[in-house]
Amino acid sequence: MNNFFKRLAHDATVPLEDMLGRLVKKFALIIMAVGCVIAASAFLTVDLFLYIESVSSPVVAAGSIAGFYAVFALLFFSLALRRPAVVETGAPPPQTVAALMEPANPALLSAPSAAARPTAAQFAANLDTIASPILDALREAGMQKEAKAVEAGTQVAKQLGPFSLVVMAAGAGVFLGRTLGSKRKLL
């Protein structure tokens, strides 16, 4: 079973490592390109200054170049701060999440807090519904230890509640990711 998890972890991490490698290469190339654009801009600015200075005075050259950069700065700020245009379509306006979660039956609207948040019994029933096919498959495969581990995990999840379960899963994911990402030999 341990070899299965090793292979599963390897198959899951190889595409991520490839993607991360490509991302780092692209980021490095973009940083080098930005550096070259900045250097080119500096040399073109000096060249423009020298040309305008030969035609006119140094004060006019400095002022014209400063004005040139100020106009482009204002243009870029206005583009960055503008709001996106609203596209008119024939479709109805999008509904909010709260409107989508409202029950169609008006009789169920008497207890909106119960409809919005599941009770502990509903949460436990949902967990049992999710875990039962997994437990059946593990028991049919003769994996009794794994089935007991899933049962224990289900019991812990029932006691934790939804928010604590998400926090614990995120922490376990970080720990597992660090463990699988290290170059240590797994047992």
Q: What pLDDT score does 38 carry? A: 92
Q: What number of other Cβ atoms are within 10 A of residue 109's Cβ?
A: 10
Cα–Cα distance between 4 and 6 in angstroms, integer?
5
Q: What pLDDT score does 99 carry? A: 60
In the 8-state DSSP scheme, what is residue 85?
P
In the 8-state DSSP scheme, what is residue 51?
H
Cα–Cα distance between 74 and 62 in angstroms, integer?
18
Residue tagged 């190889």 (tokens): 14
Residues sharing a CB contact under 8 Å with residue 172, sequence separation 6 or more, in sequence order = none
Q: pLDDT of the chain along its 187 residues, tens only?
A: 577 777 777 777 777 788 888 899 999 999 999 999 999 999 999 999 999 999 989 999 999 999 989 998 898 888 888 877 766 666 666 666 556 555 555 554 554 454 556 677 777 778 788 888 888 888 888 888 888 888 888 887 777 777 777 777 777 777 777 777 666 554 5
Cα–Cα distance between 108 and 93 in angstroms, integer?
25
Q: What pLDDT score does 114 carry? A: 47
Cα–Cα distance between 166 and 62 in angstroms, integer?
59
Q: What pLDDT score does 117 carry? A: 62
Please state the domain extents for the chain: 26-83, 117-187
Q: pTM score, two decimals? A: 0.37
Q: What pLDDT score does 169 carry? A: 76
Q: What pLDDT score does 46 carry? A: 93
Contact 166, 174 (CB under 8 A): no
Residue tagged 């993607």 (tokens): 19
